[in-house]
Amino acid sequence: MSASEIVIIQHMEWEGPGQHLLAALHGLGAPFRVVKAWQEPIQPVAEIGLLLVLGGSPNVDEEEQFPYLAPLKTRIQEVIAAGKPYLGFCLGHQLLAHVLGCRVGPLPKKSIGFITGELTDAGLAHPSFQGLAPRPVLFKWHGQGVLQPLPPGVSLLARSDAAPVEALGLADNPRVLGLQYDNHVGPADVAQWLTDDQDWVLAGSGADPAAIKAEAYAQEAAMGAEFLCFMDNFLRLAYGR
């Protein structure tokens, strides 16, 4: 394994790296390896170039039900302490927030489907969001979130009406970033999630699966282009390219 390889942590069999993430990594020539954390160990820090943690069904405090969460939290802390880059989506964002001392808990309502977010002044200035819309379209799939206020040293980068913290980072280290939204997925991923996570999605959310699928196809080109721009920005930042 290359010391610059991206290690992608997957939590659920059906929730792997999304279409836009895979396209961006292949297009940018970024080597990566997917680790299914519930069935294989996570590499030591020395073997990780960038740690990228995806979303999944666990909550950050469910270590008894998901025993791998404890060593994953430790690895996230070690990656940050070693000065290596970190990028988290959804649960990966919440786990980052948790190890940074933020509160993570239930939101008033599940956030499912496409909404509009807003970059804060800190988000507009962040290198990873350069060239992106100040009010981006976000694809959401969660019932818990990071809660305000954030502790000292943690910057709020994006927010929405559905979640007070849509993106956060370390004020003194832009190579550590968490995004509550899942813009790395494409229409085929959305369709699979709606099938495999159907019971959770439909329970009390008011979500309309047909409308969500249609919006995924309508947003495919624009979201793919924006995500490629984001990943190019972040990888330049992560590796000094």
Tens of pLDDT, residue by residue over 169-193, are 999 999 999 999 999 999 999 999 9
Structural domain includes residue 1: no
- Residue 55: which of 103, 80, 87, 24 has the closest Cα? 87
Contact by Cβ (8 Å): 158, 123? yes
User: What's the CA gap between 139 and 135, in Å, rounded?
Assistant: 13
Structural domain includes residue 47: yes
Domain containing residue 230? 6-239
Q: What token pair was written down for 159? A: 């927010």
User: What's the CA gap between 12 and 26, in Å, rounded?
Assistant: 22
Q: What token pair was written down for 46? A: 């020395």
How many independent structural domains does the chain possess?
1
pLDDT tens for residues 70-90?
999 999 999 999 999 999 999
User: Dmax of the chain from CA atoms?
Assistant: 45
Structural domain includes residue 55: yes
β-pair type (118-119, 154-159):
antiparallel
Query: Which CATH number do you get for residue 185?
Result: 3.40.50.880
How many Cα atoms within 13 Å fall on the side-chain side of residue 56?
Answer: 24
**Is the whole-model pTM more than 0.85?**
yes
User: What's the CA gap between 37 and 12, in Å, rounded?
Assistant: 9
Contact by Cβ (8 Å): 99, 69? no
pLDDT tens for residues 136-169?
999 999 999 999 999 999 999 999 999 999 999 9
